[in-house]
Structure 1
């Protein structure tokens, strides 16, 4: 695991949409994470961790 992935995991815990944007760019994944984070923070955080760890 390189340092950029570790930093992205830490960002996913506090700012989930930013972590998804850094991992995948602006697209469907980022929009889904923004919606999940607005509705309830925890699902947005889990989705961001999934996206970051999947790559």
Structure 2
């Protein structure tokens, strides 16, 4: 819970950093950097969407049926049960 709150505060200040902490270095980070350069608000929308999918999938990690792929998310860390294999975000 504390880790999630820290990520939200970081994302409010700098959206690409929040995406990096959740998804790592990849397509989602590049998309977020471009959206943030186009306008600060689109970067926030994308960053909070990535974080929502990440924490939603962590919550339902032990579900009996696998979750369908989330649209617009290209990070396997976020798609695969919220990145429980490895990560930079404290649990």
**What's the TM-score once normalised by structure 2's chain length?**
0.57
**Runs of at least 4 residues of structure 1 off by over 4 A?**
none
Distance in 2 of aligned mates of 1:35 and 1:27: 13
CA RMSD of aligned residues (A): 0.7
Higher relative contact order (CA 8 A, sep 6+): 1
Larger Cα-atom Rg: 2
- The gaps in structure 1 that reach 5 residues or longer are none
Residue 15 of structure 1 and its aligned partner are, at CA, apart by 0.3
- The gaps in structure 2 that reach 5 residues or longer are 55-91
Structure number with higher helix proportion? 1
State how many pairs are aligned: 54
Distance in 2 of aligned mates of 1:9 and 1:22: 11
